[in-house]
Amino acid sequence: MNAATDTFAGPSTASDLETFRETAAAFLRDAVEAGVACPAYGAILVPALHDQARVWQRYCYDHGWAGLHWPTEHGGRGLTRAHTGVWMEECERASVAPYLNLQGIVLAGEAIMRTGTERQREQFLRPILTGEVLWCQLFSEPGNGSDLGGLTSAAVPDGSHFVLNGQKVWSSNAQFAEYGILMARTEPDAPKHRGISFFLLDMTLPGIEVRPIKQMTGDSEFCEVFFDDVAMPADALLGERGGGWGVAMAVLEDERGGAGSSGVISLRKRLTKMIEAAGDAGPLGRQSLAELHARGNALAALMELHGADPRMAPVAKLANSELGYDEVAIGASLRGADAMLASDETEAFLYAPGMRIAGGTSEIQRNIIGERVLGLPREPSP
């Protein structure tokens, strides 16, 4: 990496972060002008941008803009999370992807730094930052939906290996990924949440079959993944055997809080577009947009005031998912018959229902809010 990696080390101050912001914005402007920056695509890497995103990740690493708060011995800059937050904000302003994919940089990377052995850190962290290793997430299963505690995929200890059998679904980028973060049951007789372990799975192992799922947009961002007597080495285990639930809950907190302040910037952009769209809408359309705009402003204020509080993550996720769905539904209504034609807006309309499922369904978010944030009684279990 270049000399920029030695700049801005140490505690972050307001002036330090402002200088850092200016430098980040200049780097992104130059990258956009040079045509090397990858356009923003949200939490899920779009298959069509796969190659460009990998080139962009390597470019960021080579120029000192990858893993800003990660330790320098693993390829990072050794700065603070505040610096990472600034980078995310400036990427959102520039409409540029801040990293290769959430599953690798945020979920796998943070989990390995937090829980991994020194050998696992040395093996995985730098290749994550360079874009050499792409990760997928292997949590959800067909029979359990968002109930991760009910997963049935089993990893049975067998000498120096675990023998893995089962199925996962809704795994984004699994058809491209070299590794996946996996939850599987290792203690079948243990209580529901205590018999689960967390693994770093080599996706090239024999017995793994990946089947892309065709979406109604025509794309295949998600996959089914099948395991048939897959021999996982024992050192694929991350953390304690049977302690995977705690590892996974920390990962899910990273996922729900991954956008940070950049999410507010993205939301403000969307609110501006609502105002622009109102000029072409009739009285009823303007009323619908005004109601939607008020909800969006309330969400933005909530995120600005309480974004650092982890209890707000499910609230923001639920509100943003429902707002996004209603946003594209109203937009399609305003376009009338044109909304049925092939366009970017049509694809957004077809894609929107999935965002009420991805990252935990809206129903699950309501349960989390009720039980963990408001302290209401747990939902009855049939």
If asked whether residues 264 and 231 sit together in one domain, one would say: no
Residue 112 covered by a domain: no
The domain of 82 spans 3-100
The helix or strand, by DSSP H or E, that contains position 226, with its residue range, turns out to be: strand 222-233
Residue 155 covered by a domain: yes
What pTM did the predictor assign? Answer: 0.85
Would the pLDDT of 188 be above 50?
yes
Residues in CB range of 248: below 8 A, 6 or more apart: 139, 148, 183, 196, 198
pLDDT tens, position by position, 195-210: 999 999 999 999 999 9
Of 41-55, 271-285, 359-373, which gets the smallest average pLDDT? 271-285
Average pLDDT of the segment spanning 76-91: 93
Domain end marker among 75, 100, 125:
100
Residue 116 covered by a domain: no
Residues in CB range of 151: below 8 A, 6 or more apart: 139, 141, 144, 166, 183, 184, 185, 196
The confidence score (pLDDT) of residue 263 equals 79
Full DSSP string of 137-205: EE--BTTTBT-GGG---EEEEETTEEEEEEEE---TTTTT-SEEEEEEES-TTS-TTTSEEEEEEETTS
List the CATH number of the domain containing 155. Answer: 2.40.110.10
Range with top average pLDDT, 30-34, 253-257, 313-317: 30-34
Domain end marker among 215, 242, 269:
242
Quote the tokens at residue 187. Answer: 């203690």
If asked whether residues 227 and 312 sit together in one domain, one would say: no
If asked whether residues 314 and 356 sit together in one domain, one would say: yes
| Residues 242/186, Cβ–Cβ less than 8 Å | yes
Quote the CA–CA distance of 173 and 187 in Å, as a whole number: 29
The confidence score (pLDDT) of residue 9 equals 44
List the CATH number of the domain containing 310. Answer: 1.20.140.10
Full DSSP string of 268-325: HHHHHHHHHHHTTS-HHHHHHHHHHHHHHHHHHHHHHHHTT-TTHHHHHHHHHHHHHH
Q: Which residue has the higher pLDDT, 46 or 29?
A: 29
Would the pLDDT of 285 be above 70?
yes
Residue 321 covered by a domain: yes
- The phi, psi pair for 78, rounded to 5°, reads 70, 25
Which residues are catalytically annotated? 255
Q: Which residue has the higher pLDDT, 231 or 328?
A: 231
If asked whether residues 323 and 362 sit together in one domain, one would say: yes
Quote the tokens at residue 18. Answer: 């402002």
The confidence score (pLDDT) of residue 359 equals 74
Quote the CA–CA distance of 209 and 85 in Å, as a whole number: 37
Residues in CB range of 348: below 8 A, 6 or more apart: 328, 331
| Residues 311/370, Cβ–Cβ less than 8 Å | no
Mean pLDDT of the chain: 88
Average pLDDT of the segment spanning 342-347: 74
Q: Please give the tally of structural domains in the chain.
A: 3
Quote the CA–CA distance of 167 and 223 in Å, as a whole number: 11
pLDDT tens, position by position, 90-117: 999 999 999 999 999 999 999 999 999 9
Would the pLDDT of 146 be above 70?
no
Domain end marker among 81, 100, 119:
100
Residue 382 covered by a domain: no
Residue 63 covered by a domain: yes
Residues in CB range of 230: below 8 A, 6 or more apart: 163, 164, 165, 201, 205, 206, 207, 208
List the CATH number of the domain containing 87. Answer: 1.10.540
If asked whether residues 39 and 96 sit together in one domain, one would say: yes
